[in-house]
Amino acid sequence: MEHVFKGYKVGAVDYLRKPVDPHAVRAKVAVFVELYRQRKQLESQSEQLRSAELQLRRRAEASLQESEALYQHTFEEAPVGIAQATPSGRFTRVNQRLANILECSADWLIGRQLESIGEADDQAAIAERLARLQSGQSLSAGEHRLATARKSPIWATLTLSALRRGSALRQLIVVVEDISDRKRHELERENFLAVAAHELKTPLTPLRLQAEGLVRELAQGAEPRHDTLLRRISSIDKAARRIESLVERLLDESQLSGGNVHLEREEIDLCAVIKEAVTRVQSDAAHAGSTIDVQSDGPILGLWDPLRVDQAVTNLLGNAIKYGAGKPIEVKIGFEGGTARFSVRDHGMGIAEGELERIFERFERVAPLRHYSGFGLGLGIVRRVVEAHGGRVTAWSRPHEGSEFVVELPSHLPAGEPVQSPELEMHA
């Protein structure tokens, strides 16, 4: 037995007594083979479990990465500014769009307090929004003016939402949408309506005063002189026409701003159209103290819409009279390389360089309203009409030296068509 114990001590698992009984050997081998098989099965199961667990972990990691990438993408690529902030309102993460909206770097924003992005007047209201979230509200949104590093303040919709665990506020999500363009359009619209009402009231005043005055005088038995009567009734007629033309201009502008300008082209002489327009505005120019000098050798023929071209010319002349400070106005008409070119030059107040780009915009007026009335549509109409003809309009101006508007209109006449111009006449 001693040997058996020794054997167990050094790692034996069983023993057989000699002479060996074949039955016992078979039985014992069977037991050990079965034990070995079971151990192998356990090992394999354990291996499977380990690999399944690994796979699950990998899948979870991948899913987490994907989710983070998705969040990152949404966060960075969203067309709105997004930021995360602490419950007290300090930015911990901001997207590039927010930095762009506020014209600063994303790093500069980190650590700053939410309300500090507001304009001075809006900071208290933003702080109030933050306080509402801190006291349990889940969402708070509204329009605010935000300060920007370089430009003037912008209008934005600010949305604050709370991320909570239980009732504890864990994080704030801040969404900032730049709505400056919409606000500007709203403001333009309001201004435009106010100006339109004013413009319509201007001719209504003489219309009402002359009509009421005459009714009153005639009712009292007055016998006004024939020429006085004629002049005053003509003034009523003129005012009615002015109102009509204002209403037409308004309708026309809404049509022009609706997209394509419909042109009815025919062969016309640009010089004749311009001279006619000059004759029409001559009395307005005289009232403002300006003379209009036209330099042309005409005729200059082209396929243009006579009404639209007249409209563009009239607007440019009206502009020169209005801002010409009673100084002479010069109109030059020429033709070169298939393109007619005319310019209207005044010597008035002029336009500052930075404002020159804006003057062709709709409702834009660079002159102060207290001095100059008008819809602010005139130059916008000029540009649209000229561009519809395939031409272009450019402006030159210097403050206190006046402005010059140059219009170029391709003649659109088939090649070989005789186009008379000063140059051609000289060779003839």
Residues of this chain that bind another protein (CB under 8 A) = 197-198, 201-210, 212-213, 216-217, 222, 224, 232, 235, 238-239, 242, 287-288, 322, 325, 369-373
**Measured from the CB atom, is 159 or 202 closer to another protein?**
202
Least distance (Å) between residue 209 CB and another protein: 4
Q: Which residues pair with 157 in a beta bridge?
A: 143, 177
Q: Give me the least distance between CB of 228 and another protein, in Å please.
A: 8
Q: Which is nearer to another protein, 344 or 349 (CB)?
A: 349
Under 8 Å between Cβ of 116 and 123: yes
> Cβ 367 to another protein, closest distance in Å?
9
Nearer to another protein, 205 or 255 (CB): 205
Query: 81: part of which helix (H) or strand (E)?
Result: strand 81-85
User: Measured between alpha carbons, how far apart are the two ends of the chain, in Å?
Assistant: 144
Q: Give the Cα separation of 350 and 325 in Å (integer).
A: 10
| Cβ proximity of 344 and 317 under 8 Å | yes
Closer by beta carbon to another protein, 173 or else 204:
204
CB of 224 to another protein, least distance (A): 8
Between CA 343 and CA 392 the distance in angstroms is: 12
CB 316 within 8 A of CB 382: yes
Shortest spacing between CB 235 and another protein, in angstroms: 6
d(Cα 93, Cα 83) in Å, to the nearest integer? Answer: 5
Closest approach of another protein to the CB of residue 124, in Å: 27
The token pair at 360 is 């062709």
Q: Return d(Cα 250, Cα 28) in angstroms, integer.
A: 111
Q: Determine the Cα–Cα distance for residues 269 and 52; give it in Å rounded to an integer.
A: 89
Give 60 or 286: the residue with its C-beta nearer to another protein: 286
Pairwise CA distance, residues 136 & 162, whole Å: 9
Q: Which is nearer to another protein, 206 or 299 (CB)?
A: 206
